[in-house]
Amino acid sequence: MSKYYNPHRTRNIYNPHSSEPFRLSRGKIDSFVKCARCFYMDRRLGVGQPPGYPFSLNSAVDLLLKKEFDIHRAAGTAHPLMKAYGLDAVPFAHAQIDEWRDAMRRGITYRIAGTSVVVTGGVDDVWKSPNGELIIVDYKATSKDGEVSLDADWQDGYKRQMEIYQWLFRQNGFKVSRTGYFVYCNGDTDARAFDGKLEFDIKLIPYDGDDSWVEGTILAAIECLKSDTLPASGVDCDYCAYRKAAGAVESLKVEDRDSLLEDVVKFIKDKDLISTALLQREFGIGYVRACRLLDKLEEAGLVSPSEGAKPRKVFIKENKTIKKLVN
Ligand code: SF4
């Protein structure tokens, strides 16, 4: 286990009986949108998914962009990118700009009335148009062939991110433009050699945000945290696919398994249905042992749950991983 991951965290856990402020970050709201179950296990029970390793190159691009826009913030001038895109704005100079950009410790915050929950977000940048409206800005860095865009399904999270920031600034009393911008930097790999530098194409992508979903979602997330019931999981994700596959493999391989389990799996692997009676006949075993074997197979996700006397469906033919294991 790495020193960066504690699978049984005791800090940053929501306590429904405490009035101490509980920070709920923009990222955790997004994890609630994706799957209430993992959100609950993380924020209420202290069992979070292992974190990914930090994207240091992306962070370096963010940091340098911040420095670059800060030069124009201090001078009150438009960045050349704004001019190139005909955007009439300047970086917003405000005493709290560094606080709003510090996602880990401070950020832009808003306490939800009647609760202990403080919603937090660390914005990359804020610009201001001549009519006084704030423009929320997010920096993105990547390296891909072709033009960058916001069209992929997985980029919906970027849009939600923008909308939560827009909502947070509005709750803090600012007039916020519906249109936010992504400063999208695309590393150019067409160069002849690396030569110690990576050039980027930089594109300004506008996005018209709609924050109407944000408040209701935050309230739903708070209700979820207050509950003592583990919520259902959302759409299957890669973690869940891994958890199921690992569980199935472990159930088949553990030392204390019924000695017949592997033979039973081989026996049913090409069948569509299996019943207790068929197992009893085939293996000359009693009813109780046949039931236990079927329950074990159900735990491993290989057969459907019991429906009284009805035969159970066998799922092995559809499961390539298990098929490989049993062949
Ligand atoms: S689908 Fe499963 S692993 Fe994925 S987020 Fe939900 S509970 Fe967690």
Report the C-alpha gap between 25 and 104 in whole angstroms.
9
**Residue 316 falls inside a structural domain:** yes
Question: What is the pLDDT, as a whole number, of residue 47?
Answer: 92
Q: What is the pLDDT of residue 295?
A: 87
Of 162, 167, 159, which Cα lies nearest the Cα of 112?
Answer: 167
CA 18 to ligand 1 centroid distance, Å: 27
Alpha helices for the chain (secondary structure H)? 26-34, 36-43, 56-75, 80-84, 97-101, 156-171, 214-226, 238-253, 261-268, 276-283, 287-299, 320-326
Instruction: Confirm whether 8 is domain-assigned.
Output: no
Domain boundary residue among 226, 255, 289?
Answer: 226
Q: Give the pLDDT band of residue 320 (cuts 50, 70, 90).
A: low
Average pLDDT, stretch 287-309?
A: 85
Kindly provide the b/e burial profile for residues 215-254, where b requires at least 16 CB atoms within 10 angstroms of the residue's own CB: eebbeebbebbeeeeebebbeeeeeeeeeeeeebeebbee
> What's the CATH number where 165 sits?
3.90.320
Q: Which of 170, 194, 226 is the last residue of a domain?
A: 226
CA of 39 to the centre of ligand 1 (A): 9
- % of the chain residues with pLDDT over 70: 94
Q: How far is the C-alpha of 287 from the C-alpha of 185, rounded, in Å?
A: 65
- Global model pTM greater than 0.85: no
Same domain, 208 and 276: no
- Whether 242 and 217 map to the same domain: the answer is no
Are 251 and 110 within one domain?
no
Alpha carbon of 29 to ligand 1 centroid (Å): 15
pLDDT higher than 90, residue 191:
no
CATH number, domain containing residue 298: 1.10.10.10
Assess if residue 221 is contained within a domain: yes
CA of 11 to the centre of ligand 1 (A): 21
* Residues 243, 183 share a domain: no
Cα 74 off chain centre by? 35
pLDDT at 67: 96
Check pocket membership of 47 for ligand 1, CB cut-off 6 A.
Answer: no
Of 202, 226, 250, which one is at a domain's C-terminal end?
Answer: 226
With 90 as the cut, is the pLDDT of residue 83 above it? yes
Residues 205 and 319 in one domain: no
Residues 45 and 98 in one domain: yes
160: closest CA among 212, 107, 202, 233?
A: 212
122 and 48 in a common domain: yes
pLDDT band (50, 70, 90) for residue 152: confident
pLDDT exceeds 90 at position 1: no
Residue 321 domain flag: yes
pLDDT at 315: 84
| Residue 308 phi, psi dihedral angles, 5° rounding | 65, -130
CB of 242 closer than 6 angstroms to any ligand 1 atom = no
Per-residue model confidence (pLDDT) at position 286: 86
In this model, does residue 277 exceed pLDDT 60? yes
**Do 36 and 121 share a structural domain?**
yes
Q: How much is the pLDDT for 255?
A: 54
Does 213 lie in the same domain as 111? yes
**Same domain for 271 and 217:** no
Q: Is 237 in the pocket of ligand 1 (CB under 6 A)?
A: yes
Residue 85: closest CA among 206, 255, 232: 206
Report pLDDT digits (tens) over 37-76.
999 999 999 999 888 777 888 899 999 999 999 999 999 9
How far apart CA 157 and CA 30 sit, in angstroms, is 7
Report yes or no on 12 lying in a domain: no
Please compute the mean of the pLDDT values over residues 197-207 and round it to a whole number: 93
pLDDT of residue 280: 92
pLDDT recorded at residue 322: 62
Q: Give the mean model confidence (pLDDT) for residues 308-315.
A: 87
Q: How far is CA 269 from the centre of its chain?
A: 35
Q: What angle do CA 180, 184, 188 make, to 5 degrees?
A: 170
Top mean pLDDT of 5-19, 46-60, 150-164, 206-220 is at 206-220
Work out the number of other CB atoms within 10 angstroms of the CB of residue 94: 14
What is residue 254's predicted lDDT score, i.e. its pLDDT?
58
For the residues 143-156, what does the mean pLDDT come to? 87
Query: Which domain range does residue 96 map to?
Result: 22-226
> Nearest to residue 125, comparing CAs of 80, 169, 60, 171?
169
CB 214 within 8 A of CB 240: no
User: What average pLDDT score do residues 279-305 get?
Assistant: 87
Whether the pLDDT of residue 323 is over 80: the answer is no
Residues 175 and 310 in one domain: no
Query: Rounded mean pLDDT of the chain?
Result: 90
Tell me the pLDDT band of 302, cut-offs 50, 70 and 90: confident
Q: What residue's CA is closest to ligand 1, atom 3? A: 240
Find out whether the beta carbon of 36 lies less than 6 Å from any atom of ligand 1. Answer: no
The DSSP bridge partners found for residue 127 are 91, 135
Q: And the tokens for 259?
A: 């000695």
Q: Chain-centre distance of CA 137, in angstroms?
A: 21
Q: Say if 10 falls within a structural domain.
A: no
Domain count, the chain: 2
pLDDT at 212: 97
What distances in angstroms separate CA 258 from CA 171, 261, 277, 292, one per listed residue? 60, 5, 18, 9
From the CB of 233, is ligand 1 less than 6 Å away?
yes
Ligand 1 atom with the smallest distance to the CA of 235 is: 1
Q: Which of 23, 45, 56 minimizes the C-alpha distance to 229?
A: 45
Distance of alpha carbon 227 from alpha carbon 326, whole angstroms? 41
Q: Sign of the C-alpha dihedral, residues 270, 307, 240, 246?
A: negative
The reply to whether 249 falls in a domain is yes
Same domain, 44 and 82: yes
Tens digit of each residue's pLDDT (9 = 90 or more) over 218-268: 999 999 999 999 998 877 788 888 887 787 777 666 555 678 888 898 899
Domain assignment present for residue 208? The answer is yes
